[in-house]
A and B are shown apart, each in its own frame.
Chain A
Amino acid sequence: QQQVKQSPQSLIVQKGGISIINCAYENTAFDYFPWYQQFPGKGPALLIAIRPDVSEKKEGRFTISFNKSAKQFSLHIMDSQPGDSATYFCAAGFSGYSTLTFGKGTMLLVSP
């Protein structure tokens, strides 16, 4: 079964704090794990992605941590800013294929 479970559904973080969103997957054949950010009225935009051969990937304030044995991965947003307020989706897919299975999203609100 190709499911990706995402939590929490919503998250409120103070400016400067750390936002953490978690995802778990079932299909061990997945080998590509992107995170997308979506603002109201816009389509999702790729934020950062990881493959299972590494346990962590960092790009600026955004870090993905990946735990292959637990079949879990998470997004950490350091020094969260009000401009980070958006809906975040984790996803899983297969290298070379465009089909992605998405989590149900997390609405992040960063309070000033």
Chain B
Amino acid sequence: KAGVTQTPRYLIKTRGQQVTLSCSPISGHRSVSWYQQTPGQGLQFLFEYFSETQRNKGNFPGRFSGRQFSNSRSEMNVSTLELGDSALYLCASSGTTGTDTQYFGPGTRLTVL
């Protein structure tokens, strides 16, 4: 099976702009989670979607949002970008029954100037 894919791999934006990142989970997986990875804070959970519904949300401001489509593909959006949003954004998918093993994509490296 193909792994988790994320597009684009790299993005450069300026403060105040908005950005949309995309994630395609492993075929058959219905749960998609998003994480932000920074050197200082490590991996922090953003939100999880399961069957097009947000099932869980981390402690991030409302500028961070996401959605999931009927084919389980997911997008996350960050509005009004701040310098501190520069990070590696990782998407992970897991199986149909909410099984615990998460498979991560390679991430999208976002740089905010």
Q: Which residues of A contact B (CB under 8 A)?
A: 32, 34, 36, 41-46, 49, 89, 91, 93, 95-105
Q: Are B104 and A99 in contact (CB under 8 A)?
A: no
CB under 8 Å from chain A, chain B span 55-87: 55-56, 58
B43 interface hit (Cβ, 8 Å): yes
Contact B102 A46, beta carbon cutoff 8 Å: yes
A43/B107 in contact, CB under 8 A:
yes
Cα-based distance from A41 to B106 in the complex (angstroms): 7
Q: Would you give 10 A-B contacts (Cβ < 8 Å), ordered by A?
A: A43-B92, A95-B100, A97-B100, A98-B31, A98-B94, A99-B33, A100-B102, A102-B42, A104-B42, A105-B43
Instruction: Give chain B's interface secondary structure class.
Output: strand
Nearest CB in chain A: distance from B29 CB, A: 10
The count of residues in chain B whose C-beta lies closer than 8 Å to any C-beta of chain A is 28
Q: B90 to A98, Cβ gap below 8 A? A: no
Please name all residues of chain B whose beta carbon is closer than 8 Å to the beta carbon of A103 when the two chains form the complex. Answer: 42
Q: Is the pair A32, B104 in contact by a Cβ cutoff of 8 Å?
A: no
A41-B106, A42-B106, A44-B90 known; A97+B98 contact, CB < 8 A: yes
Instruction: Count CB-based A-B contacts (< 8 Å).
Output: 65
* Distance between A53 CB and nearest chain B CB, rounded to angstroms: 14
Q: How far is the CA of A93 from the CA of B50 in the complex (A)?
A: 17
- With A32-B100, A102-B35, A104-B42 already in contact, 16 other A-B pairs whose C-beta atoms are closer than 8 Å: A43-B90, A43-B107, A44-B90, A46-B101, A49-B100, A49-B101, A89-B43, A91-B43, A93-B100, A97-B98, A98-B92, A99-B33, A99-B58, A100-B43, A102-B43, A105-B42
Please determine whether A43 and B98 come into contact, CB atoms closer than 8 angstroms: no
Known: A97-B56, A98-B33, A99-B56. A43 touches B42 (CB 8 A): no
